[in-house]
């Protein structure tokens, strides 16, 4: 079986969903580091609020941005695959 064409929108949605998941993981990591920075800043006598606020924003913003850029990258990648597969012949897969 040879994959000669892919659904560009389907590839875009898959890339977008995968990248949004990665963005969520990175956002949670950034939030954890922001909380650590906030507690270290407040222990030193300063205000740790900016660090904590950036961490919370990262959990929301990172998945959205990563998902959007992943979707756009998937659209472009799917379209390029269709062009190249037309010339080269596609990817051969074996199913059992």
Quote the domain boundaries for residue 9.
Answer: 2-92
Q: What is the mean pLDDT of residues 32-40?
A: 76
pLDDT at residue 43, rounded to an integer: 63
When pLDDT is cut at 50, 70 and 90, the band that residue 51 belongs to is low
- Find how far residue 82's CA is from the centre of its chain: 23
Number of domains into which the chain is organized: 1
Residue 48 has pLDDT above 80, yes or no: no
Report whether 66 contacts 79 (CB < 8 A).
no
Residue 12 has pLDDT above 70, yes or no: yes
pLDDT tens sequence across 60-93: 999 999 999 999 999 999 999 999 999 999 999 9
User: CA-to-CA distance for 42 and 51, rounded, in angstroms?
Assistant: 10
User: CA-to-CA distance for 92 and 13, rounded, in angstroms?
Assistant: 23
Cross-strand pairs, 2: 92
């Amino acid at each position: 079986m040879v994959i000669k064409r892919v659904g560009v929108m389907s590839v875009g949605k898959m890339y977008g969903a995968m990248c949004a998941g990665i963005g969520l993981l990175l956002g949670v990591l950034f939030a954890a580091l922001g909380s650590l920075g906030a507690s270290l800043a407040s222990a030193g006598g300063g205000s740790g609020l900016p660090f904590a606020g950036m961490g919370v924003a990262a959990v929301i913003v990172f998945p959205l941005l990563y998902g959007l850029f992943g979707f756009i990258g998937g659209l472009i990648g799917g379209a390029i695959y269709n062009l190249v597969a037309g010339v080269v012949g596609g990817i051969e897969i074996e199913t059992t």
